[in-house]
Amino acid sequence: MIVRAQSLATGLCFPKSVSDEMAKLNFTSNLWISEKELELTEFKLMKRHIGNHLTCKINNSDTRLYNVSQTTRPEKLTKLLGRLIPQKLFSSDILSQSASRKLISSIISYEKNEWLTEGQLKYLGLKTRPNAKPIIINEASENPPCELKFYNIGELEEPHIIARMKTLLPISASTGCFYKMPEALRILRFAIHNNFESPFWLPVKLADELKLVIKKSCNPLVLTVPETGAELKLINSAQTSSPKIVIAHALEQQFCPRSGVSGRRFPKIIEDVLSASSARNKFESVFWLKDAYLPALSTKLLPGQIPTTVACGNQKTAFYNVVQTDSRQTIEKRFHG
């Protein structure tokens, strides 16, 4: 039986074309690690293998890959399968290279490479085991420089509660997207405190538009909109007369074409054309960009892409789905949290 090549970092299989190239090299392991990922660990290449890498196109960029058997301690490195990339839960912050390196060096003691800061634990009301030891990281890149204490979720008194929190990560019924941090963390804490089981949330104004009755005992969560300073009252779908209508509305929004700049829906005349184009071309993203916006966003088109042209009166506008660009992940992450 042919064993597909896997990424040590994620545990996922490489595309068949890449896996076939790797198989031709006849290494004893089917696990591969990128040069950048290896630099974050304490492991080194055997001297005779330095520079002896396989270059593959991954996410539209050339990536240098090494087989795990080319390292000095392949057995120990193999134990990190699927756990190499540290995840700072419930946060949109990107870990610095020094922080990633320190957390990776500690992961061998834990089942999962998932971490929370001391501040997050206190905010969410989570407790650690009596003798839990944090990983202390000095973040010189922060302004001002600070000391952060990270705890692996294995150090929690009730680590299973994290799985429940993940199912409760708040989804906006207005957009069908996850709320972004730090607002999402506030909503999550409110949901746990009030024992809500639904991740769907909506503004009181939307509840009125959908002709939903809000329960008399409803205690809305009040957030401040960062851009305007205005107050936004949010309720959980369980606080309405018909949670099913809220969920159906949210799911409908997930498939509506949206601007990759603002996240908002387009006028119906544009929406209809983009929806038809998505169905015809099997685009996997709902986000679109006007051709004129690409330079300002430092976004480049992938080779051979054809625009979707929308005629509004005497004016024609060219749109590209973000899957046609090199910025899909960046744009989608902005709106999906």
Domain boundaries, the chain: 6-78, 87-162, 171-253, 257-336
Tokens of 30: 């089917």
Tokens of 274: 């983009």
Tokens of 150: 């990270």
| CA–CA distance, 189 with 71 (Å, rounded to integer) | 44
Per-residue pLDDT at 264 = 85
Per-residue pLDDT at 337 = 47
Three-state DSSP at 17 gives helix
Task: Give this prediction's pTM.
Answer: 0.71
State how far the alpha carbon of 40 is from the alpha carbons of 59, 60, 97, 99, 182, in Å. Answer: 20, 22, 7, 9, 27
What is the longest distance spanned by two Cα atoms in the chain? 73
Per-residue pLDDT at 2 = 63
Per-residue pLDDT at 61 = 77
Among 243, 242, 272, residue whose Cα is nearest residue 257: 272
Q: For 60, what's the count of Cα atoms within 13 Å in the CB-facing half-sphere?
A: 12
| 58 bridge partner residues | 61
Three-state DSSP at 68 gives helix
The values of phi and psi at residue 78, to 5°, are -60, -30
The continuous run of DSSP H or E covering 152 comes out as: strand 146-152
Tokens of 120: 């997050």
Ranges of the chain whose pLDDT falls below 50 = 337
